[in-house]
Amino acid sequence: MSYLASVVTLGIETSCDETACGLVDSGMRVLANQIYSQVPIHSLYGGVVPEIAARAHLEKIDPMVRLALAEAAMDLGSVGQIAFTRGPGLLGPLLVGASFARALGRYAGIAVTGVNHLEGHLASAFLEDPSLEPPFLCLVVSGGHTEFVLVGPGLRYTLIGKTRDDAAGEAFDKGGKILGLGYPAGPLVARLAAEGNRDFAALPRALEQRDNFEFSFSGLKTAVLRYAEVHGPEFVRNNLPHICASLETAIVDVLVKKSVHALSATKMQVLTVVGGVSANGYLRERMQAEAKKRGFRAVFPSRLYCGDNGAMIAAIARWREDRGLTTVEVEVKPSLSWN
């Protein structure tokens, strides 16, 4: 192994409800990926409670870093860089990760850099394919974001469209909540949908024009609400897989169709799909079928790296550092976007 290939980055992710820590080297090999999910705590409240999230991060961050080092059979002496999520995300949770990373860096004499959570999701595709190089088009589909970003050489970003209201993950979560499913409903909707009739309920697809790369999912949520009110709780319970299948199809139809149009408008041949919703099996299947038919390449991260994790935070910092693209930022910014 060359010297460079042995350089390791520790990534710390605390932007929302996962306390996560990962170790990644220059070959984009994941040496450790430890995730403490706070989902069971927040599900009691039907969504993320920022104050509770910040406290849980404070409690779990140190053990998660220790667990990651143990998983990789390493100590801090082998770590060349510490990266933490500086935004976008919840202020309290971000501050916990930032303070911990800065303190650890100072104690151990290791360089610390804050990274963009969205760039972290983007880098989960590098973990899947370390040879992937810009330019390519990236579709970010998470609980808070749904957007197309054109990724140019040197990681220059051009945002070409995003949601006007809810994110795709919210469409799954809010739709599922109306149907009586717990938080977050996305994975449950997907599981039930696998057994359902996708044409059962007629649900809307918004902004279908070819040249429109924006999304809108709030009308879909309202349509699910109306559907549940009109048909009543017993009908909904008895037909849950069918309604979930119709909801999932309405979301995936839009994501796939718009991706095809965005690829053609940007003349890109590679599409990466990242973020929590990229774990969705039906989205993967439909996008890969379209890729085969139309001759583009669709890269999805392994399901291990779709949701929030520390490996992706380490990956973007390592990737940038190895190409001389590090910009040292240590302040948190809850509203951070691409540029």
Residues engaged in binding ligand KG4 (CB under 6 A): 16, 142-144, 169, 172-173, 184, 186-187, 190, 275-277, 279-280, 307-308
327 backbone dihedrals φ, ψ, rounded to 5°: -120, 115
For the chain, the straight-line distance linking the first and the last C-alpha, in angstroms and rounded, comes to 35
**Hey, what are 262's tokens?**
């965005």
Q: Are strands 136-141 and 146-152 parallel, antiparallel or unpaired?
A: antiparallel
Which of 308, 309, 310, 319 binds Zn ion (CB under 5 A)? It is 308
Number of residues that bind Zn ion (CB under 5 A): 2
The one of Zn ion, ligand KG4, none whose footprint includes residue 92, by CB under 5 to 8 A per kind, is none
Near Zn ion by CB under 5 A: residue from 142, 146, 249, 259: 142
Q: Is there a contact between 240 and 192 (Cβ–Cβ < 8 Å)?
A: yes
Specify the residue, 105 or 143, whose C-beta has the smaller distance to ligand KG4: 143
CB of 81 to Zn ion, least distance (A): 21
Residue 97 binds what, of Zn ion, ligand KG4, none (CB under 5 to 8 Å, by partner type)? none
Indicate the residue type of 229. E
Cβ at position 111, least distance to ligand KG4 in Å: 26
Residue 14 near Zn ion by CB under 5 A? no
C-beta separation of 129 from 315 below 8 A: no
Pick the piece of the chain touching Zn ion (CB under 5 A) from 38-46, 141-149, 233-241, 252-260: 141-149
Shortest Cβ 108–ligand KG4 spacing (Å): 28
Q: Among Zn ion, ligand KG4, none, what binds residue 301 when CB lies within 5 to 8 Å by partner kind?
A: none
Picked from Zn ion, ligand KG4, none, the partner binding residue 280 (CB below 5 to 8 A depending on kind) is ligand KG4
d(CA 169, CA 309): 17
Residues in the chain: 339
Nearest-approach distance from CB 295 to ligand KG4, in angstroms: 27
Residue 103: CB atoms within 10 A of its CB come to: 11
Q: Which residue has the tokens 């999912």?
A: 217
Q: Which is nearer to ligand KG4, 56 or 69 (CB)?
A: 56
Nearest to 243 by CA among 257, 231, 256, 258: 231
* DSSP string across 173-192: HHHHHHTT--SS-HHHHHHH
Nearer to Zn ion, 163 or 246 (CB): 163
Answer with the entry of ligand KG4, Zn ion, none that 300 interacts with (C-beta below 5 to 8 A by kind): none
In the chain, what are the helix, strand and coil shares in percent, each to the nearest 5?
A: 50, 20, 30
Binding partner selected for residue 172 from Zn ion, ligand KG4, none, CB under the kind-specific 5 to 8 Å limit: ligand KG4
What is the Cα–Cα distance from 147 to 162, expressed in whole angstroms?
Answer: 4
Cβ closest to ligand KG4, residue 22 vs residue 275: 275
Strand pairing category for 146-152 and 111-116: unpaired
- The one of Zn ion, ligand KG4, none whose footprint includes residue 186, by CB under 5 to 8 A per kind, is ligand KG4
Where do contacts with Zn ion occur on this chain (CB under 5 A)? 142, 308
